[in-house]
Amino acid sequence: MKQAQIRQILFLIVLTVIYLGFELGFNARLLDVVGSRATPHDIEELEFFGRTLSGIAAALVVLQLLLARRLRAGGRPSYWKIALACGLTAFVVFSAIKFMVNVLVDTRDGDFRRIATNSGLLQRALVQGDLHLDGLVDDEVYARPEGKAFLAVFQVLLSNIDNLDEKVEPKKRQVIRTDLQRQMKTFTFDDRQVRMTAPGIRGYHQVYTSVMQSVAERWRKYAGVPVASDIGLAREQDRAWGDYRRNLSRRGWTPENVPARYQGRVVQDVRKRIPVPGDWQPHDRAAFNDAVARQYWKTMRSRTVHVEGDAIPPGLSYEDFVARPGVQKLLRQTLMVPANMPVAVDYTDAAGFKRLYDSMLDRAVDEALPRFSARSVDFTRGGQHHKLGEDAARAAIVPPVALLCSLLGAVGHFAKLLYLIAKLLVWLRTPAGQAPGRTATRAAGLALIMTLVCVWTAFSFMQNGITKSELFLQMSRVGPGQDDESIGQALRRRVLANVAHVVVVGQAYTYPFNEMVRTRVLNGIRYGYHGDA
């Protein structure tokens, strides 16, 4: 009995240590995500790994309970049933958390989604250093663990600030402009997507260069300048050669076996449609293609081209072609500049191109500003900005929920690990043939609970640069509440403030260790997020 208990405890200790390694690594990566410009895809990946780890955490608890029952019952339930129960538990918890998050997102009202949309914008500006919040002395704090933990609960605490819209409105346009400057947008020209490979004016210039290269290709085709890789020419050559072969097949011939006495007649018949040389041989495909190409480019040079409803006459130079209203309209639509902004063939000076870039930004800001200033009803289901509000609500809800589940899993299993170690020591000190008394086991559990309570209490009273700041005190509203505040609201506010305080203080101590586990022990596992920390 003693040896079986010791083996079982050692097995559970090993599994718990492995789980804690992945949970601590996830906790560190979670703070990296909230301290960056995370996309909806990043949030979705983060949510998946968080739910998976929570499911595994619950399965480990069930495993410990069933293994203990099996040891007491002499081999029942079977290992197969234990494995099935653990797998079912993991799946149920995984699905339950997904359902809970979806319910939280779906049941948020338009006001919450509107605030989440704006707070997400503010959070990105804080991360990039584009926005300074009064009451926070050190703007560099967001790169440190306590700053990242603050960002994880930032959107939750933001709801405690009174008159948020009035305080944000004066800076909103500049914040939106700066946020757009950091985005790498995708542009479309001729059904081809052109994505910025760098943010800002440098990436926009790359897009402009690529678009103008496509315009130059259009002009060469319009002007009849021979291009070896022209798809239209290749199709025309294949079509003409196919027609020629079909005409010969009616007489039972192929280009290779035309009788000599009929070759002259065949050449004359072909020359009625294709300008092949007079001495052309019926089997000479290369000379045939050259003749088709001459005819093709001659036709291209003589026809009128329509671009965005503009009939462009033949014979224009490249500069005149680009200056045509239809081409300018297409360029403005592609490069997203206002209707009154001309697009030049080339920009020899940086100032000229900066005007083009600034006009694109101005238009983008004008289009984005109404979304961030829209009414709450526009973010509800069926509203104009429903999808934007839904993504913002998910981005606001998932990190705190994931952080809470991660902390519960890590703290709970760390407590379980300490308990298992204490239990192992008790069993090792128990003489063979005897079982340890319940008093010793209960004392180990009580000591563990007291340790956790002491740690939580210590974190509640400890301070750092974030928790001492005027901003954090205002957001958590740890002072006396309003006169009309109910007891439930006051209790909720104080609990939320205490949890945020403990998280911000505790992560400052645990993040370095968690990150070391992720990078060194787990070989830099990314948990679905491939951005920078």
- pLDDT category at 411 given cuts 50, 70, 90 is confident
CA atoms within 13 A on the CB side of 233: 23
Which residues neighbour 216 within 8 Å (Cβ) at sequence distance 6 or greater?
A: 318
Distance CA 130, CA 126 (A): 6
Q: Is residue 418 part of a domain?
A: no
Distance CA 58, CA 55 (A): 5
CA atoms within 13 A on the CB side of 495: 6
Distance CA 482, CA 380 (A): 29
Residue with tokens 């998976």: 52
Alpha-helix runs per DSSP H in 107-230: 110-127, 145-152, 154-158, 164-182, 200-223
Mean pLDDT of 378-398: 90
Residue-wise pLDDT for 492-513, tens only, equals 778 888 888 888 898 888 999 9
Strands 186-189 and 310-312: unpaired
Which residues neighbour 328 within 8 Å (Cβ) at sequence distance 6 or greater?
A: 322, 342, 343
Say whether 23 sits in a helix, a strand or coil: helix
- The lowest-confidence range among 186-200, 317-331, 462-476 is 462-476
What is the reported pLDDT for 532? 61
Contact 269, 280 (CB under 8 A): no
Question: In the predicted model, is pLDDT for residue 335 greater than 70?
Answer: yes
Of the ranges 132-146, 223-237, 354-368, 422-436, the best mean pLDDT one: 354-368
Q: Tell which residue, 363, 308, 205, has the closest CA to residue 213.
A: 205
What is the reported pLDDT for 468? 86
Q: Tell which residue, 425, 291, 531, has the closest CA to residue 10.
A: 425
Task: Report the sign of the C-alpha dihedral through residues 398, 457, 24, 150, in that order.
Answer: positive
Question: In the predicted model, is pLDDT for residue 267 greater than 70?
Answer: yes
- pLDDT category at 139 given cuts 50, 70, 90 is low
What is the reported pLDDT for 81? 94
- pLDDT category at 434 given cuts 50, 70, 90 is low
Q: Tell which residue, 45, 48, 116, has the closest CA to residue 395.
A: 116
In this structure, which amino acid lies at residue 423? K
What is the reported pLDDT for 40? 76
Say whether 360 sits in a helix, a strand or coil: helix
Residue with tokens 């983060």: 46
CA atoms within 13 A on the CB side of 111: 4
DSSP state of 306: E
Question: In the predicted model, is pLDDT for residue 137 greater than 90?
Answer: no
What is the reported pLDDT for 160? 65
Q: Is residue 393 part of a domain?
A: no
Contact 387, 117 (CB under 8 A): no
Q: Is residue 390 part of a domain?
A: no
**Predicted TM-score of the model (pTM):** 0.71
Q: Which residues pair with 188 in a beta bridge?
A: 193
Residue 329: give the domain boundaries: 188-361
Distance CA 359, CA 181 (A): 12
Total domains in the fold of the chain:
1
- The lowest-confidence range among 107-116, 166-175, 497-506 is 166-175
C-alpha torsion 337→341→343→348, nearest 10: -110
Annotate 137-158 with DSSP letters as a single string: S-GGGGGSHHHHHHHHTHHHHH
Q: Measure Cα distances from 346 to 200, 211, 357 in Å.
A: 19, 12, 14
Q: Is residue 80 part of a domain?
A: no
User: Which tokens hold the place of 290?
Assistant: 């050259």
For the stretch 401-405, contacts whose Cβ atoms lie closer than 8 Å and that sit 24 or more positions apart, written own/partner, are 401/50, 401/97, 401/100, 401/101, 401/104, 402/30, 402/46, 402/47, 402/50, 403/27, 403/30, 403/152, 403/153, 403/503, 405/50, 405/53, 405/54, 405/97
Q: Tell which residue, 168, 170, 165, 173, has the closest CA to residue 375.
A: 165
What is the reported pLDDT for 43? 81
Q: Is residue 144 part of a domain?
A: no
Bigger pLDDT: 245 or 484? 245
372-394 burial, b at 16+ Cβ within 10 Å, e below that, comes to bebeeebbbeebebeebbbbbbb
Mean pLDDT of 75-85: 92
Contact 20, 417 (CB under 8 A): yes
Say whether 437 sits in a helix, a strand or coil: coil
Q: Is residue 227 part of a domain?
A: yes
Question: In the predicted model, is pLDDT for residue 23 greater than 70?
Answer: yes
Q: Is residue 112 part of a domain?
A: no
What is the reported pLDDT for 60? 95
Distance CA 233, CA 221 (A): 10
Q: Is residue 341 part of a domain?
A: yes
- pLDDT category at 20 given cuts 50, 70, 90 is very high
What is the reported pLDDT for 491? 80
Q: Tell which residue, 71, 151, 84, has the closest CA to residue 403.
A: 151
Q: Tell which residue, 469, 204, 194, has the closest CA to residue 350.
A: 204
User: Which tokens hold the place of 134?
Assistant: 């009064």
Residue-wise pLDDT for 29-72, tens only, equals 988 887 777 777 888 888 899 999 999 999 999 999 999 899 88
